[in-house]
Structure 1
Amino acid sequence: MMRAAVITLALWLSPLAHAQLIEDTGPTVLTLLSGDSLRDAFAGRTMDGTYKEFRQRSGTSHFTETFTKDGKTIYREGTITDTGEWKLVSDDVICFRYDGPLAGGVSCFTVFIEGTCLYSFHPSRVQDGQPIDNNQWSAKTVIRGELSTCDDLIG
């Protein structure tokens, strides 16, 4: 009787254990983009992305951004459209500044890739070339036209 109870309990708990195993903990194998690899990932490209956090300002977490080779950017998030500039401020940090409704500061990120999915982390969440916690990304993007390996983006 005790053995049957243990088996029943194990079978009952197995979906819970499985759910814990597949809980989103972020990407697993990340490669830091730096130098020419970082520049090439953005220059002359359009990216479709999502923020980790929902944006009240636009009613969405999804965005699209086009990056020209000369450092200009066109950004769209819901009904918000803005223009600005992007540049590498170090070998592995890219920063953005906007001119219109999103003006008011500079946003910088360290970018990692897993498959075709680019994960942007605030530089304070990166130590020794790796995220402190893989699930603390701010935004993830895929280059338009590439098949997405991001779990919730279509490329």
Structure 2
Amino acid sequence: MKNKLIANVGETVTIKERLSSLLVAGIFSLGCIFAPSIISNYIISFTYPDVISFNRLETFILAIIPASAVYFLMFFHLSITGKNYLAKFKPILIYSLRLTAFLLVVAFIFNWHFTTVLDQHGYGTCWKRSLYSETVYIKDAEECKKRGSEVLRKPRSAY
């Protein structure tokens, strides 16, 4: 029994599949679009200002950029040409997925290390507005009140 993907290599795809692949390419491009702003926020955080808003999900978004870029190219190529040559992207995809797996491990370690360093620098935290919102690390407990939130953990300077 032949693999269905390999059996269909080079065949033209329908307009519905082309539009679907263009939509998927747009979704994968979002990670690449948001990456510069996420990186600039992290660069500011490394100077340890008085208030640091930190979202752990952002590091994982940065970690999946290699795979997202390859998937974007694959599906954009499919939507433009209309030919199913996705098997030709397989070697590049394998290396990008390995790099993405490594970067996910690095992102996990970075999240743990960065929050530990913030705790060592005496930062406190405010209550999060929701489960998915960013964690606000503060040096002064008054910052939480300015933001309309309660102090979850007092900064070390407030003890």
* Smaller-chain TM-score bracket: under 0.3
Which has the higher relative contact order, 1 or 2, with Cα contacts under 8 A spaced 6 or more apart? 2
TM-score (norm 2): 0.26
TM-score (norm 1): 0.27
Give the structure with the higher percent strand.
1
Give the structure with the higher percent helix.
2
